[in-house]
Amino acid sequence: MAAEPRDWPLELHRILRAEDVRQMCFVPDAGHSRLIKLCQADPEMATHVLTTEEEGIAIAAGAWLGGQRSVVLMQSSGVGNCINMLSLPVIGRFPLLMMVTMRGEWAEFNPWQMPMGRATEATLNAIGVATVRAETADDLVEITASSAKMAYGADQQIAVIISQRLLGAKKW
């Protein structure tokens, strides 16, 4: 008998709430869709739909300066849009927790996703953002809990990388 699949979006929402995250920014993404809906339904969490991912970095900075914790959700293709803005939390030494769903790897059908898929982690590391990769739902829950504690407790900039294999192959 197969075990029930782990409800990782619900668990990630619980982790964010336990860490007193009050703001969540996102560019709509199928890989984050359930977590987005959970955050939108949470009366204790403000959600912000972004037109471009770097806006989320600025909102995270403003949230921190205003005394609130935030999380920024994006797809790997959006990481390249953020590179200049990421200097703000790195140089300012304020916490940043990003959750990045990957494209351009496991069974990718879109060739335009491949270059940034290969460069995502190296790009983040080059600007000073630590990355931690999750390949399974169990890993993702543990990594998110640990990364949230490091970001908010030690003023670190961390991106949780959610593998495309964990999300499943995209279909067009």
Tokens of 158: 């961390």
Tens digit of each residue's pLDDT (9 = 90 or more) over 101-138: 988 787 767 778 777 889 899 999 999 999 999 999 99
Across the chain, what does the average pLDDT equal? 92
Q: Which domains does the chain have, with CATH numbers?
A: 8-167 (3.40.50.970)
Nearest to 98 by CA among 108, 106, 87, 86: 86
Tens digit of each residue's pLDDT (9 = 90 or more) over 44-57: 999 999 999 999 99
- What pLDDT, on the 0 to 100 scale, is given for residue 4? 58
Q: Is the pLDDT confidence value at 172 over 70?
A: no
What's this model's pTM, rounded to 2 decimal places? 0.93
Q: Is the pLDDT confidence value at 14 over 80?
A: yes
Proportion of the chain above pLDDT 70, given as a percent: 94
